[in-house]
Structure formats: structure tokens, C-alpha cells
Amino acid sequence: MAGKAAPRIGVLALQGDFREHIASLTELGADVVPLRRAEELGALDGVVIPGGESSVMDKLSRTFGIAEPLADAIRGGLPAYGTCAGMIMLSARITDGIAGQHTLGVLDTTVRRNAFGNQNDSFETDIPMPELGEDPVHAVFIRAPVVEEHGTDVRVLGALADGQVVAVQQGNVLASAFHPEVAGEDRFHRRFLDMVRSA
């Protein structure tokens, strides 16, 4: 990135594993800040929504008044990447959300929360994702969602052996059901930063 300022990335820091994303992106040379208020959005080149508890994240984002401005910014072209709960937050539809749960509605997907069970059913696996390179992606699933349906504009980047979709991209929005930031897998963050630079 010689001669160019580092991209300024905001990681939504209301709840969840935002610190791990901040560390991953900082290691890749980005200028990373915690994002908590709507007025901070204007200074950002991209935004990451971390894993955590999607219903809590939804409530807090509305309480802090950032949900609607964030959705508007992403619809307006701000690159976004969501992992696990972040994927749920970005999605247009949830099949089993709790009563009153909202999403940002910027990704044309239907997701199911906790698709693999509870915390005890967490697992790791390697998933071939040719668009991210020759080596499979090591994916850590913790109370993870899956994409049950998606629109024609949504590109599937990765699926489990049984066909369940776990990584997608639609324009300026990237999402994974798993946690690359926990596995030390940086290719999703690299792809996201490439999206930011070409936005």
C-alpha cells in the first residue's frame, strides 16, 4: 500500500468478538477503529460486523441509533463484511429469529440462526473455496447460521459437503457463517480489504 493511506475500517463494537477482527485487520495494514455511533460512519472506508449474539447486537445497534444509518451506508456502497452473527445482521430474512428481531436487510439471503445447535455443537472443518485460493479454508463454526435461500445476485463462495451455504458475497457485502478471525485465516479479511480498495 505504498503511497496510499491505509483504509479506515470500523468494526462494530457493541458486542461479540470485535477485538479479534480489529487485530486481524490491523495485522493486514488497515487503520481499524471500534464503531459504536452513527456519526463515526462518515470517516470509514468499510465496516465489519463481528460474531456474537445477533439478537443482542440488533437491540444494541437500535438503542445506540446506528442500525438504520449503517444499513443506509451499506446500501449506498460502503463495503461490509459480517461473520456468524454479523452474517445474520446483514441478511434480509431470518427463519428463526427471536420475537421482534430485526436485521440490516442489505444481503439478499435467508439465514437460520444456530443451525448446527448450541455452543457444545461447535466444530471445525476445511472447506474448498477456489475463489480464495488453492488451499481449503479452515472454518471454525460456533453456534453458526447457514444460508437457506439466496437471491440470484448472491455469489456462493463456500458450502459444506452436504451443500449448506456458509459463505457468500453480493456486491459490496461479504459474509461468512464461520469465524476466520478465530482460526487465524486471513483470506476473507484480505478479500474484504480488496473490496474496500476498489470501492
Strands 123-127 and 137-141: antiparallel
Residue whose C-alpha is closest to residue 87's, from 38, 51, 139 = 51
Considering the candidates 20, 21, 84, 150, report the single residue annotated as catalytic. Answer: 84
Active site residue 68: no
Active site residue 84: yes
3-state secondary structure of 78: coil
Query: Dihedrals φ, ψ of 23, to 5°?
Result: -65, -45
Active site residue 179: yes
First-to-last alpha carbon distance for the chain, in angstroms, is 15
Residue whose C-alpha is closest to residue 82's, from 104, 51, 60 = 51
Considering the candidates 20, 21, 150, 179, report the single residue annotated as catalytic. Answer: 179
Considering the candidates 20, 21, 181, 185, report the single residue annotated as catalytic. Answer: 181
> What residues are annotated to the active site?
84, 179, 181
